[in-house]
Chain A
Amino acid sequence: MIDERIASTSRSAVSRRGFLKVTGAGVAGSSLLTMLEARQAPAQIKGTTLRILQWSHFIPAYDEWYDKFAKEWGDKNGVKVRVDHIPHLEIPARMAAEFAAGAGHDIIYNGSSILTRLYYKNLVDLTDVSEAAGKKYGGWIPSARSLVDVEGRWYGLPIFYILAPMLYRKDIFDANGLKYPDTWELARVAARTMKPKGHPTGIALAQCNDANLMWRSMYFSFGGTEASPSGDQPTLDSKELREFLKFAKALFDEGMTPEIFSWDDASDNRYLASGIACWIHDAISAYRTTEDTNPPVFKNTVLGLEPQGPDGKRVSVAAPNVWMVWKFSKNQQAAKEFLSYLIDNDLEGMVQSRGYNMPYLNDRYKKPMPVIGTDPKLQILQDFPKIVAFFGYPGPSTTPIQEVVNTFVFPDMITRYCRGMALEDAVKWGVGEYRRIYAKHKQA
């Protein structure tokens, strides 16, 4: 009876337009899957224009390669490709403007601030592209899904992330009989020993991206979490948070200077390159900067795996980078084609970025990886994918966590404590801000 009713409803609901829509979508979907398999662009995209909004990469050579790569793909497929570069901090504003106008680029880049959950209703479902890539390259690393998944669908395509390992001065460690910083405790001992000798350490404790990333790595390695696995609830208030804060303050008092309160994302690069820092915790841009500006220091700089917390846990918070396609794009098929082609060539992107761009696909980690697999000092980076996490760990990249990150609540809480606020007052402030932000988003 029920079946009959459903059948009759279905029959009456199928109009000519509906039928055309369903069959059209089916044909388009299956042809796309076929083409993704065969890596052949469809004829329909010929003569179209694809506009891409891209950040200005820290490695300028990567931008040059990317522009050329996109143009060559366009030439091959008869698509006119235009790539615009803007600073990554301007992307949220540009995205808001394009969404409000319902016009702009077809493909849009997100770096660090991943706004998938904010815009997913207006983004193209890229599940087919991600599934095809996952199938082809041995699946995605565990943390990739948390960035772009909304209700089981992928509304973005993770393209690479930026690691932040330990960078320490082997010559200083050896000369002072210090053990390499494989644990946060050893890193603290080194900083405590070296600060009086003119070689303190530093992790930015200002309102910059580094402050958001680096201190979270330490906190998560101490067993702390930021949100529930579903991402609905903040989970900051914990014993682990208090232990971490005590450790962070001790590390600051014993091994850092108040300079860190003024730092931006490039300050620690300069700190290492100037020969002062005994260790820093940063992206390999610091290593590259030192290579170019201070060869003797570069020669003695070694990269280490993320230090372990008190219980042996290692969590490395990385800066994610994701591509999205607007639903208002008139060239969604070309956008998907281009992204598939880009992910096929992400190892070339890794080479062009001098090992900066770390891929999300498992098969890419077959040793030796390009650039980092051939440089003995960088080889350790190949072991990072299993410990990589992002903001909101262990939950996904939700809208409340983006507000927490963008208003720098986490580093501000540490700053307050390091500047003399009582531990419980700092915790109360930080936890209060998390709860207030999560409550606001839940209400909305």
Chain B
Amino acid sequence: MTVSSQHGGGPDATSARAAAVSVAASPRVASRFRTQTTRRLAFGYLLLAPACLYVVLLVGAPFLFSLYLAMSDANVGDTSASFIGLENFRAAFESDVFLIALRNSIMFTIVAAVLKGFLGTTLAFLLLQPFRGKKFIRGLVVIPFTLPISISVLGWKWMYDSQFSVINWFLSHVGLIGSYGSPDWPVWLGQPRLALLACILVNVWRNFPFSAIVLLAGFTSVPTEILDAARVDGTNFFQRFRNVVVPMIAPILLIGFLFDTVFTLSDLGVVYLLTQGGPANATKILPVLAYQVGIQAGALGRGAAIALFLFPLLLPLMILLLRNLKRREY
């Protein structure tokens, strides 16, 4: 027995009822939109809609698509794929290259963040001081950040060259290392720990101006009266920095840190162009491995699964930082 037969009506009766409901409801809807609050609410949602649409289309959809790829046996040469659940994630853990890449990614991000924080702060303080040609120097500082990555990394590749490294020749000339061919001649991209450090240094060199600019913007927003008051109270430079400046610019610091962590963790260019992850995976990081497996070898599903491991790494950090940021707003 169908619903319509139970009520003894056919399709006509149903549409008549629907019309009646619609007529009955319409004055209520109209009255709801009549109040100023609801009109403002609707207008607010309307203004918010483009941003929501942007997030859904450009962030949500690709994320869901990569999630779909990671749970499928998709390859680059086939438009169809089958659902295989968490198989690709399990396969990733079976490979020790993945575990090495995971470890390297975490180490890369932490060491680079510490170095960029230190160098960025120092540079920001230097740029705060009044000196001649300050604007020009400020312009120069951002050059590493603005140069195309392929060109700047090529320059570093030459500086790290095993035979013609300008760094080594300088160190050799000042007597810190022996001459070319001696056992203490560093092979920057050939010794596992040194190679990872070399990659981190290039990432730091490229991005610490960004940290400095963010910090500089924060420092200049601190009112000088507050700093003067702290100075009158007898605080030294480090006390003022720790107890006055940092709490005041914390939101800027947190956002800068968040951006920098995301950029560093997903940085494919530096490692790929310098070492491709070698020697023997000593510099392999997750984005490079994902590219090699997913695109170069064509196993799109497994590549997506490897790349998605960046997400659980970033998620707790993002939640912590954003929660902290929200708490500071109130």
Contact = CB atoms under 8 A, between A and B. Distances in A.
Interface of A: 92-93, 95-96, 99-100, 113, 115, 118-122, 198, 205-208, 257-264, 267, 270-271, 274, 276, 399, 402-403, 406-408, 412, 415-416, 419, 429, 433, 436, 440-441, 443-444
Given A261-B279, A412-B278, 4 more contacts: A261-B187, A262-B188, A399-B297, A402-B296
A415 B280 contact: yes
A109 to B, nearest CB: 15
Contact of B295 (A93, A267, A440): A93
Contacts of B66: none
B212 interface: no
Interface stretch (B88-96, B112-120, B222-230, B235-243): B88-96
A103 to B, nearest CB: 14
B139 interface: no
A439 to B, nearest CB: 9
B276 A207 contact: yes
Contacts of A261: 187, 189-191, 278-280
Interface residues of B, number: 42
A101 to B, nearest CB: 11
9 contacts: A92-B76, A118-B75, A119-B76, A120-B77, A258-B190, A262-B275, A270-B164, A399-B297, A408-B278
A274 B77 contact: no
Contact of B181 (A119, A207, A257, A406): A257
Contact of A433 (B95, B296, B297, B302): B95
Contact of A403 (B157, B191, B298): B298
Interface of B: 73, 75-78, 91, 94-97, 157, 160-164, 181, 187-191, 195, 275-281, 289, 291-293, 295-302
B76 A118 contact: yes
Q: Is the interface of A mostly helix, strand, loop or mixed?
A: helix
B187 A274 contact: no
Given A206-B278, A412-B281, A403 B163 contact: no
A332 B67 CA distance: 36
A118 B189 CA distance: 33
A270 B97 CA distance: 31
Contacts of A92: 76, 295-296, 298
Nearest to B289: A407
Given A92-B298, A118-B77, A407 B292 contact: yes
A267 B190 CA distance: 12
A124 to B, nearest CB: 14
B158 to A, nearest CB: 11
A126 B96 CA distance: 40
A403 B280 contact: no
Contact of A262 (B95, B187, B291, B295): B187
A274 B163 contact: yes
Nearest to A92: B296
Nearest to B295: A93
A92 B272 CA distance: 15
Contacts of B91: 436, 440
A412 B187 CA distance: 18
A115 B298 contact: yes
Nearest to B189: A262
B276 A259 contact: no
Given A205-B279, A261-B278, A119 B73 contact: no
Given A403-B297, A443-B73, A262 B302 contact: no
Contacts of B278: 206-208, 261, 408, 412, 415
B76 A95 contact: yes
